[in-house]
Chain A
Amino acid sequence: MTETALASVDLRKVYHSRGAPAVEALRGVTMEVRRGERVALLGRNGAGKTTFLKIASTLLKPTSGSVALFGIDVVAQPDRARPYIAVVPQEGKPFFHLCPREQVYTYLRARGLSRETAQSRTAESLERMGLTEVADRLSITLSGGQRQRTMVATVIATEAPLLFLDEPTIGMDPFARRDVWASLRALTQKGSTILLTTHYLDEAEVLSDRLYIVEHGSVLVSGTAEELKRSVGGTLKVTLANGASQVDRFRSFGECVTDGANLTVVVLPHRLGELMELAVRSQLTATVGPVTLEEAFLRAVGRSIDEE
């Protein structure tokens, strides 16, 4: 196998549906995921994340461009690529009339794993995802988060060389999300590669080795969370309540972003004192915090991830 788990070159997708204008969902996406990496696609609703994942996981034909998994062209030879992958689809649900234990076990068996391997992986995966207690209840009786955990447990248990997870932690509580993160880290340590999408910036930051910010079907920036945060031009952010109207007085400190009436200024630590003095003089209440991916996202996209 090659060292590159996934490589896409100038991938484009135009959706044509009857009676509606064509939608350009991907406009030339080029990216690479190395073996053993965890990479996140970050983007607002409709950015093109699912479209990319579907094409890469052999479920959708691109309009043009190419994707190769471990050197296998998924457009020309989807059948050869399929044995290497497993997918948590967006809005997928476990079969309601199976309990999580049956769900994971039968899925592994359908993928060709032996009884013994399937059994031990099932127990391990349910345990990891905190599902042991509900493992023998029909999925229809599980809560939304428990169902989602079952989906993730099922796919994690495959230990497939390349996993695609489309919003894997949606609807999960913070503890379950941490379980997912830990499981995904453990998988990559065993040699799997992971490409996931998420709307949670903290998840992208703590989980992924690298991330791609996608907007309107194009990759705007990519890099490690650290690199992206550094690109913002400071390590601290100062939020000034009702400061938007005085934005001009603060521009010399660094990047200024207004959000309604509030103003956020990104600043380097050595100029923080000076900025705070000006805030006091301007009779503004200031809150100081570290720069997060939120600012990197805002800078790249021009809008917040949860803004309509």
Chain B
Amino acid sequence: MRSEPALRAFRGTTAFLWTEVLVQKNERLAMVTAMLVQSVILVFVYILNPGLLGVAFVGAILFSTFAMGQRVLNEAAYLRIDHKSIDFYLAGPLAPEAYFLGMSLGILVVYIPPVIVVGVLATLIVPLTLATGLLLLGLAAVLWVFSSSLGYVFSTFFRDNRAIWAYSSLFFNVFGVLVPVFYPLGLFPEALRPIVLLMPPSAAAALVQAAIGVTSLTGPQVALALGGLAVETVAIFLFAIYWARRTVRGV
């Protein structure tokens, strides 16, 4: 029965997903504010340079799934610190992996509807083919996996909720807004491009920009962006799975 422990690790995911959806369902304003940064940027781009609106829409979608990691970070820390949810849920049969995944999926379910609206609008503005559309969707999903895993891991390092808000918004804005996610990679200093191609949100944006012909990437640049994104996402996801179990028990 070698596969049994692996399966057991995810038992309870759906149940905890549902718990998280119920917990979040009353936070309608939060669902709207989750789209605030993206919407404001779209308005600014529309006013300042309507030609870049397509790129900005791509950025808005990628940023939206990336920013879900911030919700996971805040939520995981809040429930653990204020509600003792680890003691309550994980000193029991619910697997820590299921707790982490259920929480992340629950946040995805609750926060995805406005992103779909932006996505539908994007199809009107960005010249997406089936292939580039699927690429955008896939990369948005990859960013969700990356940032939710990172958010969960980060959440375990805090003892106090107040400290988190500052750090998490700094982190998600620097890696999601400052770097070229909403604007073309070509506008970013050339010497620093390899660095932003190694950061998942800007790597994903560059790949979609290249696919829709807004940015031109060399072969090595594509390899760097794609390879970095794949390795980083798989690594942080596997680490989060390991870490979720590791951190049930304090030292």
- Spell out A's residues near B (CB within 8 Å): 54, 57-61, 78-79, 82-83, 85-95, 97-98, 102, 106-107, 109-112, 138, 151, 154, 158, 160, 164
CA–CA, A94 and B79, complex, Å: 10
Verify if B189 is at the interface (C-beta below 8 Å from A). Answer: no
Tell me the bound Cα distance from A98 to B248 in angstroms: 23
Judging by beta carbons under 8 Å apart, are B91 and A58 in contact?
A: yes
- Per-position binary interface string of chain B over residues 73-95, scored 1 when its CB falls under 8 Å from any chain A CB and 0 otherwise: 00000010011111111111110
Name the one of B79, B88, B245 contacting A89, with C-beta atoms under 8 angstroms: B88
Q: B181: shortest Cβ distance to chain A, in Å?
A: 31
Q: Which residues of A contact B24 (CB under 8 A)?
A: 97
Cβ of A58 and Cβ of B249 under 8 Å apart?
yes
Q: Is the CB of A59 within 8 A of B83?
A: no
| Complex contact B90–A106 (CB within 8 A) | no
In the complex, the answer to whether B248 meets A58 with C-beta atoms within 8 Å is yes
Whether B169 sits at the interface, judged by CB under 8 Å, is: no
Inter-chain contact A93/B249, CB cutoff 8 Å: no
8 Å CB contact of A138 from B26, B85, B89: B26
The reply to whether A89 and B92 form a contact with Cβ atoms under 8 Å apart is: no
Which residues of B62-114 have CB atoms within 8 Å of chain A's CB atoms?
79, 82-94, 98, 102
Residue B16, interface by CB 8 Å: yes
**A106 CA to B12 CA, complexed, in Å:** 10
CA separation between A94 and B84, bound complex, in Å?
A: 9
Are B16 and A93 in contact (CB-based, < 8 A)? no
User: Cβ of A85: which chain B residues have Cβ within 8 Å of it?
Assistant: 91-92
- Shortest distance in angstroms between A96's beta carbon and chain B's nearest beta carbon? 8
Sample (23) of A-B pairs whose CB atoms are under 8 Å apart: A58-B248, A58-B249, A78-B249, A79-B245, A82-B91, A82-B93, A83-B93, A92-B84, A93-B82, A94-B83, A95-B19, A95-B79, A95-B85, A97-B26, A98-B22, A106-B22, A109-B19, A110-B12, A110-B94, A111-B93, A112-B11, A112-B93, A151-B88
Number of B interface residues at 8 Å Cβ cutoff, please give it: 33
Q: Mark B13-36, 1 if CB is under 8 A from A, else 0.
A: 001101100111111000000000
A95 touching B249 by the CB < 8 A rule? no
Which A residues touch B213, using CB under 8 A? none
Bound-complex Cα distance A165 to B19 (A): 23
Distance in Å: Cβ of B80 to nearest Cβ of chain A: 11
Please tell me if B51 contacts chain A, counting CB pairs below 8 Å. Answer: no
Question: A94 contacts which chain B residues (CB < 8 A)?
Answer: 83
Contacts of A83 in B (CB 8 A): 92-93
Beta-carbon contacts of B240-251 to A below 8 Å, as 1s and 0s? 000001001111
Which B residue sits closest to A155, measured CB to CB?
Answer: B88
In contact, A87 and B91 (Cβ under 8 angstroms):
yes
Contact in complex: A89, B23 (CB < 8 Å): no
A85 to B22, CA, bound (A): 25
> A82-B92, A86-B92, A106-B22 known; 6 other A-B pairs, CB under 8 Å?
A59-B248, A78-B248, A82-B93, A85-B92, A89-B87, A164-B91
Provided the pairs A60-B250, A109-B18, A110-B15 are in contact, do residues A158 and B84 lie with their beta carbons within 8 angstroms?
Answer: no
